[in-house]
Amino acid sequence: MRKKIKIKKKPFIILFIVVCLVSLLLVFNKANSPINMEDKLSKLGYSSSEVKTIMKNVPKDEYKLILKKYNKSLVNLLSSKDYKEENFKKYIEYYEKNPKASIEDIIVIMNSKYNLMKYPASSLLASLVKEKYYIHRNVIRYLDYGNSHEAEARKIISIVNSKADYKFYTDTKEANVKDGNLILVNKFYHLPDKYEPDDLVTLTEKYNQGVNNKMRKEAADAFMKMVDGAMLDSIILKNSSAYRSYDYQVNLYDRYAKRDGKEKADIYSARPGYSEHQTGLCSDINKIDSSFANTKEAKWLAGNAYKYGFILRFPEGKEDITGYKYEPWHFRYVGIDAAKVIYDNNLTLEEYYAYYIEK
C-alpha cells in the first residue's frame, strides 16, 4: 500500500505573502518613480520648469501630498531662497491654514525656532520673529501692540519686553534684590520701604559736590575710577546726587507733585520705592539740567561711561520705555560686561533685563 505524501501548507503561505508584498512594493515604486511623478505633475498643469523645481525640492516620501491638488503657489514656496526641505510639511500645513498669506512670510515664520502654527500668518509676525530680542512668551502681546500701533518690529519688542505696553505703575512687583548690580527698579519694580544697601560708602570731596554722597562700594569704586579716567582727558566729573533713602524720596516727590501736579512730576521724578537712587547704584553727575547734554562732560560720559560699568539710564528717544524724560546726567552702574552689551546694542536697562535676566 502506497503512503500518501503530505504537503506542508505553511511554507507556501509564507511564500505567497512575500510575493504579494513584493508585488505591492513594485507597484508603489512604479507609481512614485520620478518618471511617473513627472507625468502626473504635468497632467495636473505644472510646466516642465515647475515640475523640475518640485522634483528637486520635495522630499520623496511627500510626493503623495503634492498630488492631492494643483497649486501654483507651491512652486513659489519651493523656489524661495530661504526654503528648507526639512520644513516642507510644516510649510504646507501652515499655508493651508493661511492661503492668502505671503509665501515669504510663511517661510520666515515656519523657519523660526518657535512653534507658531496656531498664530495667523502676517508680515508683522514674520518681522517679529526675525528680531534678536524676540521672547516667545510675549508673542500675543507683540501682536496686540503691533496691530494697534504703527511701529517697527524692534520698537514693538522693546515696548512689550519692557512692560511699557501696560500703564506705568500698574501690575507692579517687588524688585529682586538678589540681582545685585543688575537689579531693576522702575515704574513696574519697586523696593521695600525700608530697603537700604548694607555696603554704602561715602564719596570724598574729590568725587562729590552734593548732599547725597553715598554709593554701594563696587559702584563707588567704579565711579572713582571713571572720574580719574575722565581727568586724564581734562574732563571734570563729580557726583551731585547718589543714594537716597525712601523717606528722602517721599519728601522730594511730594514737593514736585505739589508744584507741578502728579502727572508732570511722574515724567521726571520717581515715586517713593520706585527710585533707582534707593539702590545706591546710580549717580546724577555735575549739572542736573537738560543743558548738561551739550557739555563736553556729557559727551565724554556718553562715549566712555560703559567702559567703567555705567550706562546712561534714561536716554533720548527711549522715554516711552523708561517712563522718564531724557536725563543726560543720570548714570547707573551695572558692571562692565552688561554695560558693554547695553551700549553696543543701544538698549535700556529694561530691554536688557527682559532678555538677559528675566528671560
Task: Give the alpha-carbon dihedral of 60, 64, 67, 71, to 10 degrees.
Answer: -70
Q: What secondary structure does DSSP assign to 163-221, as a single string?
A: TTTSPTTSS-EE--GGGGGG---SSSEE--TT---TTEEEPPTTTEEEEE-EEEHHHHH
State the catalytic residue, choosing from 327, 350, 351, 358: 327
Cα angle 238-308-155, degrees, rounded to a multiple of 5 = 100
The reported pLDDT for the residue numbered 30 is: 45
96 is catalytic: no
Cell of 248: 528722602
pTM of the model: 0.85
What domains sit in the chain, N to C, each tagged with a CATH number?
Answer: 173-358 (3.30.1380.10)
Looking at the chain, the number of H-run helices and the number of E-run strands are: 17, 9
φ, ψ for residue 96, nearest 5 deg: -65, -30
3-class state of residue 221 by DSSP: helix
- Ordered per-residue pLDDT tens for the chain, 359 residues: 444 444 455 565 665 565 555 455 544 454 445 558 888 888 888 888 888 888 888 888 888 777 776 577 788 889 899 999 999 999 999 999 999 999 999 999 999 999 999 999 999 999 999 999 999 999 999 999 999 999 999 999 999 999 999 999 999 999 999 999 999 999 999 998 889 999 999 999 999 999 999 999 999 999 999 999 999 999 999 999 999 999 999 999 999 999 999 999 999 999 999 999 999 999 999 999 999 999 999 999 999 999 999 999 999 999 999 999 999 999 999 999 999 999 999 999 999 999 999 98
The reported pLDDT for the residue numbered 61 is: 82
